[in-house]
Structure 1
């Protein structure tokens, strides 16, 4: 069983700039088959935006999604972990802060992301969440 964040994190990051339009980010999520992307400026992590964030913070407010930027929809008060942190600590942070994804940061830059689904697959692959998270996408 993996013991460190680096053992289960996704290191192929999908990122967008804060100025990207909500529509562009939604298309990128669809094309990359992900539910969240990191918002970066250069190599600096500025936020995280999930598909739910796009709906609740941008689309539900109205306006043109081609004109709205992702900066207004992303979570900027991020909880992060390092690759060498213990998985139990990452789980505790997710529970404490009620988040489903944690950006993984090393030397000030994003190097990965770990999700609730990643944890479920690692800790209890036979659970409903582990089973769903491991299933092939229906897209």
Structure 2
């Protein structure tokens, strides 16, 4: 049964601007109890993604200050994205292949939603896809060089 992502995505997406500090990004994450934020430019176009793990490993562990701009520690290359009309099964397969737990949903260059692995798991008809995605995501990947 084909269902578009728009049926399960979270539409209220909190973002951070690439020029904001990692302190501000961490505060947004803390306030909304989330672990990742899409990074947008002044036009609202997604330019990257930052996670609580990025802040820890790419800034704190490297001796950066809390005022370090998000752009310095975000993931900016090869941001995997979905579209609102993408089939949920396709999204789960993409998340599994790319070993990601969160999929930003973009339309016309603007972030319009977010789908997390947990969103897939709450839809009973997609239990198999969620299980497969989690299994693939949990498989250790090769270290980056």
Could you state the TM-score of these two structures normalised by the residue count of structure 2?
A: 0.79
- Shift in Å, 1:2: 7.7
For 1:5, the equivalent position in structure 2 comes to 5
Matches within 5 A, 1:5-84: 5-41=5-41, 42-66=43-67, 68-76=68-76, 77-84=78-85
Give the CA RMSD over aligned residues.
Answer: 1.6
Partners in 1 of 2:94 and 2:61 — Cα distance? 29
Which position in structure 2 is the counterpart of 1:132?
Answer: none
Q: 8 Å contact 1:36–1:49 — kept in the other structure?
A: yes
Q: Which residue number in structure 1 is paired with residue 113 of structure 2?
A: 112
Give yes or no for contact 2:59–2:65 (8 Å, CA) kept in 1: no
Seen in structure 2, the aligned counterparts of structure 1 residues 84 and 64 have a Cα distance that, compared at 3 Å, is same
- Alpha-carbon deviations, 1:52-74, whole Å to 9, x = none? 111111211112122x1111221
- Any runs of at least 4 consecutive aligned residues in structure 1 with deviations exceeding 2 A, and if so which? none
SS of match in other structure, 1:75: coil
Q: Which runs of 5+ in 2 are unaligned?
A: 132-145
Q: 1:87: how far off?
A: 0.7
> Per the alignment, do residues 99 and 62 of structure 1 end up closer, same or farther by CA in structure 2, a change over 3 Å counting?
same
Please give the secondary structure, in 2, of the residue aligned with 1:103: strand
1:1-27 Cα deviation digits (max 9, x unpaired): 882211111110101111111111101
How far, CA to CA, are the matches of 1:87 and 1:63 in structure 2?
39
* TM-score, normalised relative to structure 1: 0.82
Quote the residue 2:99 is aligned against.
98
Count of aligned positions = 124
